[in-house]
Amino acid sequence: MATTVTQAAPISESVTRPQTSPWMSRALMLATDLVALTLAGFVGSQIWSHVNRGSPPIYRHFWPAIALFILIFGTENLYPGVGVGPVELLRKLVRGVSVVYLMLTTVVFMTKGADYQSRGAFFTSWILSILLLPLARAWVHQMAAKKPWFGVPVVILGSGETAELLIEKLHQAPEMAMKPVACLDDFTDGRSEISGVPLIGDLALAKPLARSLHIRHAILAMPGLPGEQLVVLLEKLSVVFPHVFLVPNLMGVASIPVSPMDVGGVLALELRHNLLFPINRYLKRALDVVAVLVLMPLAIPITLICALCIYLVSRHNPFFLHAREGEGGKPIRILKLRSMYPDADAILERYLEENREAREEWERYCKLRRDPRVLPGVGHFLRRSSLDELPQFWNILIGQMSLVGPRPFPSYHMRQFPSAFRDLRVKVRPGLTGLWQISARSEGDLEVQEVLDTYYIRNWSLWLDIFILSRTARAVFFGQGAY
């Protein structure tokens, strides 16, 4: 997207113009929202007209509201959504849609327009909007995120470990819509690039680079910069770039949620552990109970069918209880469908003694890609689809587990983790699914499991749980990373 330059050459001639097209990206997201919202309004009106015949269709009066949606989403920086992660995007979309529908309902009530507007159609269209809009955005993001024209160009100010980590994260998350095109730093150590991004010179090039290539976004990734120099640099950058993101010197607490505070004109950062607040724990428990009760009518027949298949293959009890570590470090026994032979432990011990590579794989992942303990056919299917976990709905109902959380591991697995992480992990209920399951599943080693579970525990929100649950279905359906 850019080529290395020398300071002697003019920027406009030495740097390849970014292929990103912010206007095209904005237009794509805008069109996506228009289509999804219009479809939700039309379909919601049609559905309700069949439920309550004679109700007036709302889509005839829906068009003026589209401008409200676009205005609110625009103020939330959702066109194209630069720097907005998937969980934050979900929160902003649902909140924006709800605000507009609340405004429309208020207008109808104040103008006494209920004779030509149906409350049922409004409610149905609202539900469809908060379902269709995130799905449409996710699908379009997946299709367009890796295209060279999608997103906005961004300059990385810094060349150290923080800048390198930042660039790698942006490459791994194209949905953030930020495409690094160049790095600038006064101390380059003779390097010409950082993680594939050209290191083109010192910070003095920021202004000509921004002007010649019309770059409006910069990320300052120099956490070791002294406070006085940081303030001076930020003042200079704010004149050059309309959008400046600062990576603070908080690398040791990077996974803790941080909120800015104004303390008499002094910037302060509030650090929180969200799941330590009682109200959040009650809210999470309520979500667990309601969701499980809704899903039970579907889960029970699927579980019974799977149990019958297991019995036909193994002629043993298709259910079993497995000891795991629960909240507070207390042992719990989780209910599972049997996907392995009854003498699985003895089979594993013999296999690891005879196979050195398998032992190394087991020590790193606590799993085996070719596991000799798994029942042929039905066992592999259950593990790949995760249907062997369905009986754990019972553990959720009795309060031993949650729908979302760090997975409950056996003692041999837990002993592989550092004691500090184990202490953090037992502060919350283990979950049926979690951030690790939708991100890596069996492909993630112990270090990945620790990083993802730590992030979830410290950054919990209702939106994060909803996001994980929505992504779990996709991960299970495609068998992503499972074996």
More confident call, 479 vs 336:
336
What pTM, to 2 d.p., does this model score? Answer: 0.75
Q: Compute the distance between CA of residue 20 and CA of residue 2 in angstroms, rounded to an integer.
A: 11
pLDDT exceeds 70 at position 5 = no
Which of these, 421, 393, 387, 384, lies nearest to 406 by C-alpha position? 421
Question: Does one domain contain both 134 and 174?
Answer: no
| pLDDT band (50, 70, 90) for residue 4 | very low
Secondary structure letter of residue 189 according to DSSP: T
Q: Compute the distance between CA of residue 406 and CA of residue 432 in angstroms, rounded to an integer.
A: 8
pLDDT exceeds 90 at position 304 = yes
Question: Does one domain contain both 324 and 464?
Answer: yes
Q: Compute the distance between CA of residue 407 and CA of residue 456 in angstroms, rounded to an integer.
A: 12
Q: Is residue 216 part of a domain?
A: yes
Amino acid at 97: V
Question: Does one domain contain both 316 and 396?
Answer: yes
Secondary structure letter of residue 374 according to DSSP: B
Q: Compute the distance between CA of residue 203 and CA of residue 236 in angstroms, rounded to an integer.
A: 10
Residue 6 confidence (pLDDT): 39
Round the average pLDDT of the chain to a whole number and report it: 82
| Range scoring the smallest mean pLDDT among 61-70, 123-132, 230-239 | 61-70
More confident call, 237 vs 11:
237
| Range scoring the smallest mean pLDDT among 3-7, 48-52, 63-67, 100-104 | 3-7
Q: Which residue carries 């500090």 as its tokens? A: 420
Question: Does one domain contain both 93 and 171?
Answer: no
3-state secondary structure 411-436: HHHHCCCCHHHHHHHCCCCCEEECHH
Q: What is the CATH number of the domain that holds 240?
A: 3.40.50.720
Secondary structure class of 91 (helix, strand, coil): helix
| Cβ atoms 396, 292 nearer than 8 A | yes
Domain boundary pick from 205, 233, 249: 249
Which of these, 326, 318, 320, 317, lies nearest to 410 by C-alpha position? 326
| pLDDT band (50, 70, 90) for residue 351 | confident
Q: Is residue 209 part of a domain?
A: yes
Q: Is residue 366 part of a domain?
A: no
Residue 77 confidence (pLDDT): 86
Secondary structure class of 7 (helix, strand, coil): coil
Domain boundary pick from 144, 163, 197: 144
Question: Does one domain contain both 27 and 107?
Answer: yes
Question: Does one domain contain both 229 and 282?
Answer: no
Mean pLDDT of 269-276: 71
Q: Is residue 364 part of a domain?
A: no
Residue 175 confidence (pLDDT): 78
Mean pLDDT of 34-61: 76
**What domain count does the chain have?**
3
Residue 412 confidence (pLDDT): 78
Question: Does one domain contain both 388 and 421?
Answer: yes
Residue 2 confidence (pLDDT): 39
Q: Which residues contact 210 (CB under 8 A, 6 or more apart)?
A: 155, 216, 218, 240, 241
Secondary structure letter of residue 65 according to DSSP: H
Domain boundary pick from 199, 230, 249: 249
238-248: pLDDT as tens digits: 888 988 988 87
C-alpha of 298 from chain center: 26
| Cβ atoms 28, 140 nearer than 8 A | yes
Range of the domain at 123: 22-144
Q: Is residue 155 part of a domain?
A: yes
| pLDDT band (50, 70, 90) for residue 253 | low
Mean pLDDT of 159-174: 86
pLDDT exceeds 90 at position 404 = yes
Residue 7 confidence (pLDDT): 43
Question: Does one domain contain both 35 and 180?
Answer: no
Question: Does one domain contain both 120 and 96?
Answer: yes
Mean pLDDT of 135-164: 88
Q: Is residue 192 part of a domain?
A: yes
pLDDT exceeds 50 at position 3 = no
Question: Does one domain contain both 70 and 157?
Answer: no
More confident call, 195 vs 120:
195
Mean pLDDT of 20-40: 91
Q: Is residue 384 part of a domain?
A: yes
pLDDT exceeds 80 at position 154 = yes
Percent of the chain predicted with pLDDT > 70: 85
pLDDT exceeds 60 at position 442 = no
| pLDDT band (50, 70, 90) for residue 112 | low
Residue 255 confidence (pLDDT): 55
More confident call, 444 vs 12:
444
263-272: pLDDT as tens digits: 766 777 776 7
pLDDT exceeds 90 at position 357 = no
Q: Is residue 318 part of a domain?
A: yes
Secondary structure class of 431 (helix, strand, coil): strand
Question: Does one domain contain both 195 and 157?
Answer: yes
Question: Does one domain contain both 77 and 175?
Answer: no
Residue 54 confidence (pLDDT): 59
Q: Which residues contact 244 (CB under 8 A, 6 or more apart)?
A: 217, 218, 219, 220, 234, 237, 238
Q: Which residues contact 65 (CB under 8 A, 6 or more apart)?
A: 100, 104
